[in-house]
Amino acid sequence: MGLGGQKNTVYSQTMLDVTRLRVLVAVARHGSVTAAAHALNYAQPSVSHHLARLEAETGTKLVQRAGRGIRLTDAGRLLAERAAEVIGRLDAAENELAAYSGMRAGRLRLAAFPSALGTIVPAAAAMLRERHPSVDLRLTEAEPPEAVRMLRAGYVDVALVFRHEPEGDAGDEGDAEPDAAEPGDMREQVLLSEAVHLIMPSAPRGEPLIAPAVTEIWPADLARLSGQRWIAGCDRCREHLLRQCAAAGFTPKVAFTTDDFVAVQALVMAGLGVATLPAMALQAARNPGVRTVRLRGSRRCVVAVRYGEPPDPPATALLLDVLRVAAAPSVPSPAAAATPAPASAAPASAAPELAEAATPAV
């Protein structure tokens, strides 16, 4: 056959079948052959056959018996992870090609964190439906790291993420969180920048932690709250809290951890601790029993992330447009809305006005 024929033979021996990769991913995702067959609308023997053929193609043991069922080997899990990325990118390419060729207006998949799903995303989705009713928008809740992984794997077209950054000249740029997307393969667009607030009970037992007239503090002022219990959020929010408290010279006593901003406010209102929340979370669901004081020195940026080189597919560009419009009005400051700042308030630091922190009896 000659050298060319030999190359073709080697190539055919190492080519992985996409259908069989889909079966492996389904087994990894659903945990059994039966569940994978149901998800794929296959007969159970067909799933087993595809797995056996994939093992023959790779020359590697991918699944093993575990009681009455099966489980993936280490090699099987590795291949399933890589296959999920490949299949996601193939599906994304199919959707983009269909949009460009005019076969359909497009199916859009958006991953976003909870407070965005409670504020700008519904507004953007409503605008998209009004302007382009043929576009099918699917929403998935995901914190930033997971949203980026879903974007890279092709499960979503746009990921809404956030990161905390220094505000103006109030901090070292080195304190900023790492970019949500790695340079070169993903593109970012900042949609808005919002304030972060310290959350306390509006009617505390005993002396207020911070004097009622104070509407904003600086990170150094958090040292007055070093004796308090703290409520931390998701991993990224928790890291930001730890950095802010470290800058103030102490390590917070984290008593509760939850990424549910409604639960955070309920815990604060019950006198179980203090916390920080971004303005968007308070806009999505504000508990009237909490008091907010703006924490100067840092802000939270909300960023739309896309994968691949420009230009964006038409449907994706539409989604970005409505997200920009929905995020355009600045999020009002809850602290300012609740208690107008005195005209003579000094912007430099509120430390002299802080009441002595008293550890609540909980």
How many C-beta atoms lie closer than 10 Å to residue 64's C-beta?
A: 10
Q: Note the pLDDT of residue 184.
A: 55
Q: What is the mean pLDDT of the chain?
A: 79
- Separation between Cα atoms, residue 275 and residue 253, nearest integer Å: 11
Rounded CA-CA distance 192/301 in Å is 6
Tokens of 256: 């509760």
- Asked if 191 contacts 324 with a C-beta cutoff of 8 angstroms, the reply is yes
Confidence of residue 9 (pLDDT cuts 50, 70, 90): very low
pLDDT for the residue numbered 55 = 87
Residue 8 clears pLDDT 50, i.e. is over it: no
- Whether 179 has a pLDDT exceeding 50, the answer reads no
Nearest to 118 by CA among 319, 302, 315, 307: 302
User: Residue 275: pLDDT above 90?
Assistant: yes
Q: How far apart are CA 75 and CA 80, in angstroms?
A: 8
Confidence (pLDDT) at 102? 45
Task: Give the C-alpha separation, 88 to 76, whole Å.
Answer: 18
pLDDT in tens, 151-178: 888 889 999 999 998 876 444 434 455 4
Residue 56: CB atoms within 10 A of its CB come to 10
Q: How much of the chain, in percent, has pLDDT values that exceed 70?
A: 78
**DSSP of 253-315:** EEEEE-S-HHHHHHHHHTTS-EEEEEHHHHHH---TTEEEEEEEEEEEEEEEEEESSSSPPHH
- Compute, in degrees rounded to 10, the torsion defined by CA atoms 298, 304, 306, 310: -100
pLDDT in tens, 133-152: 888 899 999 999 999 988 88
| 67-121 per-position pLDDT tens digit | 777 888 998 888 988 888 888 778 777 766 665 554 355 678 999 999 999 999 9
- Determine contact, residues 195/333, Cβ cutoff 8 Å: yes
Residue 321's pLDDT is 94
* Average of per-residue pLDDT across 272-276: 94
**Do 177 and 165 touch, CB atoms closer than 8 A?**
yes
For residue 107 the two structure tokens come to 């199916």
Q: What is the pLDDT of residue 136?
A: 87
**pLDDT given for residue 339 in this prediction:** 39
Q: What is the pLDDT of residue 96?
A: 64
Angle (CA) 23-27-30 rounded to 5° is 130
Q: Per-residue confidence at 277, pLDDT binned at 50, 70, 90?
A: very high
Query: Does the pTM of the predicted model rise above 0.75?
Result: no
Does pLDDT of 204 surpass 70? yes
Separation CA 204–CA 360 (nearest Å): 9
User: How many residues are recorded in the chain?
Assistant: 362
In the chain, what are the domains? 2-85 (1.10.10.10), 108-362 (3.40.190.290)
Q: What is the pLDDT of residue 30?
A: 85
Higher pLDDT, 268 or 98: 268
Region of 305 on the Ramachandran plot (φ > 0 left; ψ -120 to 50 alpha; else beta): beta
